Amino acid sequence: MSQNQQIDSTYVVIGGGIAGISCVEALKLYTTEPVLLISESPIVKVVTDIKFYTKIAAGFKVEDRNLQCIENTEYIIDKVIAINSIEHIIYTVNHQEIKYKKLCLCTGATPKLLDDKDYVIGLRDTHSVEYFQSIIGSANRVMIVGNGGIATDLVYKLNGIEIIWVIRDEHISSHFLDAGAAEFFSNYLNTQQSSDDKVIKRFRYCGERTSGAALGPDWHCGAMFGNHDGKNVIIEYKTEIKNISKSDLVRIELTNGKVYECDFVISATGVMPNNNFDIRDGRSIDIASDGGIKVDWKMETNLSDIFAAGDVCTTVDWNSEHWFQMRLWTQARQMGMYAAKCMHYVHIKEPLLQDFCFELFTHVTSFFGFKVILLGLYNAQGLDKKDCELLVRVTNGQEYIKLVLQNGRVVGAILIGDTDLEEMCENLILNQIDVTNLMDDLLDPSINIEDYFD
């Protein structure tokens, strides 16, 4: 065992995912005091090409970059094994001891795998995607288990293959879409993409592998092709995996009694916060029921001078009427940047206000080639459905628009396609304008509704 190496830093961030890198980048804007990143991998996730659709809602790309390529960033490639929260010391596998004044935990989450078998692939990090790409070309039929963003995107991007899509819900993409929006996308399930788009890989820096950190919104660009003549998607609703076995093919028995054989199973069933920290001072960090580290509105944990951001944390008692937590790359970026602000202001003992982005839930993504913008309580989250009204406009093949209203005020929206309504919807939600007398006109395509609010 080598002698311990001691390092001092005012701010320390653990984790090289979207939250961690966003936190480090923001800290460098707030302070000239030392900022240190601890990452298990030399490859980290960097947000690029940010495009704001409203004051808050933004889309962006995520690139894998080698830490050596990031300017003005002090880092250690090592694994944290323990923390002494009283003496403010971090211990690593390589016998380094890092003293800190403020610490932020941005260790992300780990995938919930169905089974630890080589024929069950969990798509969570770049390494698993590379392996998936190496075997998909010889497959005729695969089973996708899960109903989130990665599963939905995969169904769209896979071509030349038969897909059995197993979901526990009554409609596809239920974490993001309502039943009407799911029906809007149903016509695109079997759309075959052009072979010209085949094998367009994400831009990589320095050729290194990375694992652990979430994939980000552009986890794979372009279509992927199997070994089948056409594309056929079969959806099994309201069911789960009961048993998996393998002989020549993988045999899957579902809880609804149906049995399928396929080449392999793709597990995209969500994540668990990576909260395994050994606190060596007799104290423990508070964990929420979903496994996340509890944080207050300043991103602080119950342990003094320790903050958390991104997938690893769970927000507790946040007073945000139109915002709620989902473990998304959008929120990982927002939380990482906000945690940097909180760390700095607490350190310099200055008053702090909650960031404006937490006034309104926003998420920008794409499904089946359509731009999707979610605002506020877009599926009436936490509301009594009896008190809500829905305004819907659908143009087949072009757009799906849904506004959620409570007491005559817009509280959420789903905008699919090039609707150009996102700024208006954001303003209506934030300003809580009573639109009772405008309901017949709000979604009338022949009326420029924005003229009402000039």
The total number of residues written for the chain in this structure? 454
Retrieve residue 439's tokens: 């309901």
DSSP assignment of 182-222 equals HHHHGGGTTPPPPGGGTTBPPPBSTT----SS---TTSSBS
At the fourth CATH level, which superfamily is domain 111-270?
A: FAD/NAD(P)-binding domain (3.50.50.60)
CA distance 75 to 38: 6
pTM score of the predicted model: 0.89
CA distance 86 to 269: 37
**Residue type for 352, please?**
L
CA distance 392 to 361: 20
Tell me how far CA of residue 210 lies from CA of 93, 94, 203, in angstroms.
Answer: 18, 19, 13
DSSP assignment of 377-414 equals STT-TTS-GGGEEEEEEEETTTEEEEEEEETTEEEEEE
Contact (CB, 8 A) for 157 and 200: no
Residue the block writes with tokens 């915002």: 323
What pLDDT score was predicted for residue 210?
42
CB atoms within 10 A of CB 332: 32
CA distance 355 to 372: 24
**Residue type for 205, please?**
Y
Q: What's the CATH number for 369-452?
A: 3.30.390.30
What pLDDT score was predicted for residue 3?
52
What pLDDT score was predicted for residue 29?
95
Q: Structural domain boundaries of the chain?
A: 7-108+274-348, 111-270, 369-452
The beta strand positions in 113-258, using DSSP E, are 120-122, 141-145, 158-159, 162-166, 224-225, 232-236, 241-246, 250-254
Residues β-bridged to residue 100: 9
Please state the separation of Cα 40 from the chain's center in Å: 20
What pLDDT score was predicted for residue 98?
96
Please classify residue 224 by burial: count the beta carbons closer than 10 Å to its beta carbon, then call 0-12 exposed, 13-18 middle and 19+ buried.
buried
Nearest C-alpha neighbor of 269 from the set 108, 110, 109, 112: 112
Residues β-bridged to residue 161: none
On the CB side of 49, CA atoms within 13 Å amount to: 7
CA distance 261 to 240: 15
Contact (CB, 8 A) for 330 and 374: no
**Residue type for 229, please?**
D
Retrieve residue 146's tokens: 């899960």
Give residue-wise pLDDT tens across range 259-314. Answer: 999 999 998 887 889 998 899 988 999 999 999 999 999 999 999 999 999 999 99
Give residue-wise pLDDT tens across range 111-153. Answer: 777 776 778 888 766 677 778 888 888 899 999 999 988 899 8
Decide if 7-108+274-348 and 369-452 have a common fold. no
CA distance 199 to 190: 19
Contact (CB, 8 A) for 90 and 83: yes
**CB contact burial 174-192 (16+ within 10 A = b; e otherwise):** bbbbbeebbebbeeebeee
Class of domain 7-108+274-348: alpha beta
Task: Give the β-pairing of 259-262 and 43-52.
Answer: unpaired
Contact (CB, 8 A) for 249 and 262: yes
Retrieve residue 432's tokens: 């809580």
On the CB side of 249, CA atoms within 13 Å amount to: 14
Nearest C-alpha neighbor of 429 from the set 451, 443, 413, 440: 413
Contact (CB, 8 A) for 401 and 392: yes
Tell me how far CA of residue 349 lies from CA of 304, 342, 343, 344, 346, in angstroms.
Answer: 14, 10, 10, 8, 5
What pLDDT score was predicted for residue 206?
41
The DSSP 8-state label assigned to residue 299 in this structure reads S
Block mean pLDDT (10 aa), the chain, length 454: 72 96 96 95 93 95 89 93 96 95 95 76 74 86 92 90 95 93 92 58 41 51 68 95 91 96 89 89 93 96 97 92 93 97 96 92 94 96 87 94 95 96 95 88 76 56
